[in-house]
Amino acid sequence: SFAVGIAVLTYCLIAYRNEYMGGYASYGRLLLMALAIGFVAGILSAAFTYLLYTVIDPELIEKTKIFAQERIMNNSRIPESMHDDLFERIEKSTSIPRMVRTAIVGQIILNGIFGLIIAAFVRKEESSADNVR
């Protein structure tokens, strides 16, 4: 899924540079656009997450919690003394508001990291010879 996100972000940044910036864009402009794209992607991801867990399959959170708890209990490398702490963490991390918040923040951070790298390759500064024309 990271490969798809990287490909889409790269395409968007190249299209932004070529269509809206006249074929030239600085590193900073592209990074800012990557963050904006991350914000929009985060909003879309959060909306999907909310709909998935409240409308499409409201029981999915409970199923996920049960599955995670079974995996913990069946893992012999996790001592029983840690089970309660892990179960509490699962409870906290699977609340709908937290999942929605994580979707937004996570997308912005990921696109920021990917944008740092992609913008370095996609940027195209106007040379002084181009400005003379």
The pLDDT of residue 127: 79
* Whether residue 49 has pLDDT greater than 70: yes
pLDDT band at residue 1 using 50, 70 and 90 as cut-offs: confident
pLDDT band at residue 99 using 50, 70 and 90 as cut-offs: very high
- Structure-model confidence comparison of residues 63 and 128, the more confident one: 63
Give the 3-state DSSP-derived string for the chain, with helices as H, strands as E and coil as C.
CHHHHHHHHHHHHHHHHHHHCCCCECHHHHHHHHHHHHHHHHHHHHHHHHHHHHHHCCCHHHHHHHHHHHHHHHCCCCCHHHHHHHHHHHHHHCCHHHHHHHHHHHHHHHHHHHHHHHHHHHCECCCHHHHHC
The pLDDT of residue 128: 65
Domain limits, the chain? 2-132
The pLDDT of residue 33: 96
pLDDT band at residue 126 using 50, 70 and 90 as cut-offs: confident
